Each structure stands twice: as C-alpha cells, then as structure tokens.
Amino acid sequence: MRLAYDPALARRASDPGEFGRVAVLLGGDSSEREISLMSGQAVLAALTRRGVAAAAFDPQEHSLLELLEQRFDRVWIALHGPGGEDGTVQGALEYLGIPYTGSGVAGSAIGMDKLRTKRLAQAIGVASPEAMELHGPQDFELALERLRVPLIVKPASQGSSVGMTKVESPEMLPAAYAAAAAVDRSVFAEPWITGREYTVALLQGGALPSIRIETPTGFYDYQAKYFRDDTRYFCPSGLSQPAELHLQSLAVAAFAAAGGEGWGRADFMMDAAGRALLLEVNTVPGMTGHSLVPMAARAAGIDFDELVWRVLETSFVRVRSGPR
Ligand SMILES: Nc1ncnc2c1ncn2[C@@H]1O[C@H](COP(=O)(O)OP(=O)(O)O)[C@@H](O)[C@H]1O
Ligand SMILES: [Mg+2]
C-alpha cells in the first residue's frame, strides 16, 4: 500500500462524509509541541463543528500504525517543527497509505531547511537575504566581513525562532553560533534587515491577503509570537494593490519552488529599497485562533472552520494505490 500524488484530483467537498474518519495529528515531540497541541485542538474543534468524524492523535503517545488499526481514512497534520513538519511523518503516511493534508515529503523537508529554501527561491528569482553557512569559528571572520553587524544567526531547521540571535557586535558571534549549533547541525548568518515584515498565507494554489507584523523590538521571536501583547498585526497590510499582488506572487512562487503543496505561509522582510526578501516558508503554520493564517483567511472572508475544511480538502490529491 502506497500513496499516489495527483494534482488533478484536487476538488472541493460539500459533505463531511466525503472525508471519512479523520485523525488530527497533534503534539509530537518537537520544541513546538505546546503550540501544536493548541493548533490541533483548534482544528479538531472546527472539524467537529462542521460535522467531520475527527479525533485527536498524538504520535508521541501512539504508534502511527494505530492509524490503520483504528481505520482512519485521512490525516490532518497539525504537527509543527522537526518530526512533524519536516517530511518524516509524511513519509510514514506515504508508506502506510494514509492521505494527509499539505506538503509532501520533499516539500516538507525543504521547507524545514531555511538555507535550502532560500537557495531554491533565489534560483527562480525570488530575492532572499544573503546567507553564509557557519561551520564553526573558522567562518566567523569572513561572515563579519561579508555581512557586517548587525546580523542574525539562525539554525537552518528549527521553527519559532528557537536558537536565533541578533548579533550587534562582533564579540557576540561566538555565543550566537553556539546557541544555534546547540539545536541544529546546520547554522547560517544573514544580514539584519531593518525594513517592514510581512507574511503571506497560501491556500489551495493561491495567496491570501498579506499581513504586516510590527514588533516593538523589530524581532518577531518566540516571546513576540506567543506571549507579548504589544505585537501588532495589520491585515490588510497597507501595501498598494500592485505591491500586494507582487508580494503574493512571490509567495506563491517561493512556496512552489520549495516544493510546498496545499497550504502554508511565506515570511518576508522589505529592505531599504522596498524589495521583498524571503525569510522562509512554513509548511504547517500555526492554527490557533490567534495565528497568522486564520487571520489572513478571515480578511478574505474565510472563517476558521471553513479554513480548516479547505486544508482538509488538500488531502484529496493523495490517494491509496497498490495492493494492501
Ligand atoms: N535577516 C533578518 N533581519 C531582521 N530580522 C529577521 C531576519 N531574519 C529573521 N528575522 C526576524 O526573526 C523572526 C523569525 O525568523 P524566521 O526566519 O521567520 O524563523 P522562524 O519563524 O522559523 O523562527 C522573523 O519573523 C523576523 O522578525
Ligand atoms: Mg518565520
């Protein structure tokens, strides 16, 4: 039993019965477990309100094999971070023959890797801040020379700003590198961009209205994302119509270049010249009531329950094939 991928099978559903029994994958064992539990519970509640036969399933507590034993027909993936958003769960579901929402194995793995995402986006003409991979102290001098301070050091594969540091003076670089290297083998540095920050949600091949994010510190970090109440969001973002359409097209193109499918989000910052630079793509963005994708959907007239339904529809492109 395997899954086949066929984009021609994309379609809308009008009846909850078309989805069969749905497992909402939530929790998991990444550093973003708590956020995933919140996303997953919100998704489960929405599916239930819409009459879908759905249940929560935490892969930290149950083997994925139980999805077959419990006869689930498809999976809504609400896992964030490594182990859930990086292609590993997607690969297991391919092997088990259970259709799932969002990006496939390759797109998930690439999206989890910020450095590879940037390279693929740049290859199709979507600009991204210059990046330099840091393998160890031997690279510090060149990075400082090329990128100058302030710069930002990031682990390539964690989400929620874990292990990221703004480096404001050269002496800060060793500690910043150590913090990133503690959570990931791949570490890189980017120049610090001082312009405005935007994010664009992607759904079923199109882009939703962009959101402008304003933080008092200029750093939309873990605290700003989940705990501070002085982070401000603007949706519509205030861009002119042509600028909005341009940013949306960059988001669609970057997401596709990274192999993204179904739904997701692309993060950008504007440089001093007003050019949008891609920071990263997210293949399983947050889905709590306060999250960015639901906010963008609302601005497009799509309420939370409808958004969750449409994301579930993205699983229709994956179908069982071969003998059981
Ligand atoms: N090059 C940069 N210059 C300035 N701020 C940045 C830069 N890269 C990231 N940031 C800030 O850090 C936040 C998190 O970075 P991002 O690459 O989107 O990773 P993640 O969201 O996975 O933690 C961004 O939302 C932005 O506020
Ligand atoms: Mg981000």
Ligand 1 centroid–CA 166 distance in Å is 10
CA 231, 235, 240: angle at the middle one, nearest 5? Answer: 120
Pick the atom of ligand 1 nearest to 267's CA: 18
Q: How far apart are CA 260 and CA 252, in angstroms?
A: 9
pTM of the model: 0.96
Pick the atom of ligand 1 nearest to 224's CA: 27
Using alpha carbons, list the distances in angstroms from residue 127 to 26, 139, 275, 303: 33, 24, 8, 32
What pLDDT sits at residue 75?
Answer: 98
What pLDDT sits at residue 316?
Answer: 98
> Cβ neighbours of residue 124 under 8 Å, at least 6 residues apart?
253, 254, 257
What pLDDT sits at residue 270?
Answer: 97
What pLDDT sits at residue 324?
Answer: 56
What pLDDT sits at residue 315?
Answer: 98
Q: Where are the alpha helices (DSSP H) in the chain?
A: 33-49, 65-69, 88-96, 105-112, 114-123, 140-147, 173-181, 222-226, 241-257, 292-299, 304-313
Identify the active-site residue in 85, 184, 280, 313.
280
Catalytic annotation on 5? no
Pocket test for ligand 1, best of 279, 281, 282 (most atoms within 8 A of CB): 279
Residue nearest to atom 25 of ligand 1 (CA): 220
Kindly give the parts of the chain with pLDDT less than 50: none
